[in-house]
A = this chain, B = another copy of it.
Amino acid sequence: MHHALAHPEVISLAAGFVDQQTLPVEATLTAAEALLGDPQAGRAALQYGTTAGYLPLRAQVLERLLAADGLSQAETTASIDQVVVTAGSNELLHLLADTLFDPGDIVLCAAPSYFVFLGMATNLGVRSIGVEMDSDGMIPEAVEEQLALLERRGELPRVKALYVVSYFDNPSSVTLAKERRGRLVEIAQRWSKHHPIYVLEDAAYRQLRYDGDDLPSLRAYDAEGQTVIVTETFSKSFSPGIRVGWGVLPKALVGPVLEQKGNVDFGSPNFAQHLMARILDQGLFEPHVERLRTSYRGKLAAMLEAADEFLAPLPGVHWLRPHGGLYVWLQLPEEIDAGPSGRLLQAALDEGVLYVPGQYCYPGEGVPAKHNTIRLSFGVQSPERIRAGIEALARALARVME
């Protein structure tokens, strides 16, 4: 990042930011004027809120989750009391990690996984164990094998959760296949021999689908609602600056998480929550997401086209074609080290492009880090810059492969 800031001519395909040009200035102004134009509503928004968050917003996000999952209120055990609003879903992931884990506890994750979550786990003294994944996401059999191994070692009581980025994973771009969703929930339940093993479902990218049909969340496969924690955010789909995330928690976790949140800040900024509720109420959200999808769809196409043109000719370079999200995950020939100790990173910078070495996205144990991997993001740059960036990366790769 420091390098990118110091050399603005370098095309960064590294940061997972959202495209600044698409940020919803007009929609936010419309909602802010409506909210603050009504003195009573405005005062309520400028006052303290509650620790769990603004009730109408919690009702809206729950309703949207159920609608997206194709469930009626009668078909779910989820209630508004289980919805918690936070400053982005990251804060919620941190609160959950702080609540669920003691030092030495274990979380199972796909290898690779979201590196910020892995960092949080490490900082809390939690062991992250990487499980094999393929183009359909985390492999249920691999999860079972890992659990059986841990049981033989007497470490099963330390396993507290499975962490799954269920849509357009950061960094692997993979969406967990429909038939695996119920199976992962069932596995977590069946192995909850000592205490609950939760499935922590990070659905941050769910709204960013560019083709194909939406899938139900893992929460939809949790009939009793005691296993899956689902988290989502408006940071990617609307604005990271307003910064409203939320989750639906199993009943048993609501109290402990709110107690910790009360301890930290008594609840996330109330004004941002009222503003976000207004945006949803006034129908300003859907048209924005649709515009966003159109923009990112074009950028993803630009990256895949450039990859087909410039990377495909290089031997042993592979990637998946994502249906959403912000990332393309690149696998290189095994002998190429894309990390800071290899030659490619510097060669890429010399050619004018920056990427995230994939090795940073691997859990501390389990499947070992693959140094021949790269996370590319198409979120920030224009289609032209994306194409130029991929071309530069291909030049760097060709040099290193020589």
Contact = CB atoms under 8 A, between A and B. Distances in A.
Interface in A314-342: none
A36 interface: yes
Q: What number of copies of this chain does the assembly contain?
A: 2
Interface string A364-397: 0000000000000000000000000000000000
Interface in A83-135: 87-88, 90-91, 94, 116, 119-120, 123
Nearest to A36: B29
B23 A43 contact: yes
A119 B265 contact: no
B42 A23 contact: yes
A235 B37 CA distance: 21
Interface string A260-280: 000111101111101000000
A84 to B, nearest CB: 14
Contact of A87 (B23, B33, B90, B268): B268
What are the 9 A-B residue pairs with the smallest beta carbon separation, nearest first? A25-B42, A29-B36, A243-B269, A241-B270, A46-B241, A241-B271, A23-B46, A46-B239, A32-B32
Contacts of A49: 241
Contacts of A301: none
A28 B270 CA distance: 14
A25 B266 CA distance: 22
Q: Which of A17, A46, A119, A239 has the most CB of B within 10 A?
A: A46
Contacts of A43: 20-21, 23, 25
Contact of A20 (B17, B47, B120, B265): B47
A240 interface: yes
A47 B22 CA distance: 10
Nearest to A89: B265
Nearest to A21: B43
A47 B21 CA distance: 10
A362 to B, nearest CB: 19
A243 B272 CA distance: 10
Given A17-B47, A46-B242, A87-B87, A94 B25 contact: no
29 contacts: A17-B48, A24-B46, A28-B36, A28-B42, A29-B37, A29-B42, A32-B32, A32-B33, A46-B239, A46-B240, A47-B239, A47-B240, A47-B241, A48-B235, A48-B240, A48-B241, A49-B241, A87-B269, A90-B264, A90-B266, A91-B265, A119-B263, A120-B263, A240-B270, A241-B269, A242-B269, A243-B268, A243-B269, A272-B272
B274 A241 contact: yes
A249 interface: no
A306 interface: no
Nearest to A242: B271
Contact of A265 (B18, B94, B241, B263): B94
A32 to B, nearest CB: 4
Contacts of A28: 36, 42, 46, 271
B272 A269 contact: yes
Interface string A230-266: 0000010001111100000000000000000001111
Interface in A155-206: none
A78 interface: no
Nearest to A260: B123
A287 interface: no
A212 interface: no
A349 interface: no
A39 interface: yes
Q: Which of A25, A47, A120, A239 has the most CB of B within 10 A?
A: A25
